[in-house]
């Protein structure tokens, strides 16, 4: 009985293992090993339940916060990011949402916002420190193969999303949903990908691209390289194959190094 329970425990079939250890205790009530294993299993299951509950609670008002942030972000991007002050304001906003998501144990969401903040200000040390901390915490929460599969797909999806490979990222987010269909984060990312693709294909995408490039050029000519980099990257989101934009970003990289 103990051997079978141990096998179930090693394969992370915790409920089955618990039943086995309970059966062992009915045979030998004074044995400490099965009792200790049951306590371990109860702790593991409680951690998983706490994680799920925290995610559900944090997700309850996430959509409204995201709507407000999207509105604020759009206002800043269109009106204020013509100077370092506007860029700092956007950075602070991303960090605020990242910190809020982190405190709510929404680690994948939090990490995505830290990456956005880091993309705006690559020299800042706080976002990469928090990203490393999130990776450590997430790895500690991967209690079974299902969790590991889900997180592996999310990591691949997030990575390709940041590289602007939207079709590839969409595939990985769908794989993540095939493992955990109730998770809100991949659904939200898929919605954002759909919006970005629609934006690229919209009739005004060419005009918006030119507007972004013009803002970048003006900032570059005024030696405001952080703002120029911001707008060139916005342009690249609309036309990922724009070689002239990539060249300008490389030039900025050389200048600021």
What is the reported pTM? 0.66
Burial of 167 (0-12, 13-18, 19+ CB in 10 A): exposed
Residues in the chain: 257
List the domain boundaries for the chain: 2-58, 61-141, 142-199, 205-256
Contact 162, 115 (CB under 8 A): yes
- What pLDDT does residue 11 have? 85
- Burial per residue of 78-91, b for 16 or more beta-carbon CB atoms within 10 angstroms, e otherwise: eeebbeeebbeebb
What's the rounded mean pLDDT across residues 57-78?
58
Contact 185, 109 (CB under 8 A): yes
What's the rounded mean pLDDT across residues 55-73?
61
Question: How many other C-beta atoms lie within 10 A of the C-beta of residue 65?
Answer: 13
CA distance 189 to 196: 10
**What band does 75 get if pLDDT is binned at 50, 70 and 90?**
low
What's the rounded mean pLDDT across residues 149-178?
94
For 27, 83, 217, the CA distances from 117, given in Å and listed in that order, are 58, 16, 22
């Amino acid at each position: 009985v103990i051997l079978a329970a141990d096998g179930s425990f090693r394969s992370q079939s915790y409920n089955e293992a618990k039943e086995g250890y309970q059966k062992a205790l009915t045979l030998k009530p004074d044995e400490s090993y099965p009792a200790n294993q049951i306590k371990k299993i109860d702790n593991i299951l409680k951690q998983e339940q706490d994680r799920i509950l925290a995610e559900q609670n944090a997700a309850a008002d996430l959509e409204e916060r995201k709507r407000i942030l999207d509105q604020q972000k759009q206002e800043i991007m269109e009106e204020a990011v013509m100077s370092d002050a506007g860029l700092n304001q956007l950075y602070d906003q991303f960090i605020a949402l990242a910190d809020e998501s982190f405190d709510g144990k929404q680690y994948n969401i939090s990490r995505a916002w830290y990456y956005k903040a880091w993309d705006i200000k690559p020299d800042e040390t706080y976002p990469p420190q928090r990203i490393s901390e999130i990776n450590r915490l997430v790895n500690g929460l991967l209690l079974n193969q299902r969790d590991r599969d889900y997180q592996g797909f999310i990591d691949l999806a997030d990575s390709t999303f940041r590289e602007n490979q939207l079709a590839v990222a969409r595939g990985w987010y769908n794989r993540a949903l095939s493992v955990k269909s109730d998770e809100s984060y991949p659904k939200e990312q898929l919605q954002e990908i759909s919006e970005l693709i629609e934006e690229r294909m919209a009739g005004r995408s060419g005009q918006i691209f030119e507007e972004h490039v013009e803002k970048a050029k003006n900032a570059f000519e005024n030696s405001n390289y952080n703002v120029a980099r911001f707008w060139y990257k916005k342009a690249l989101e609309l036309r990922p194959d724009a070689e002239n934009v990539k060249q300008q970003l490389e030039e900025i990289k050389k200048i600021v190094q």
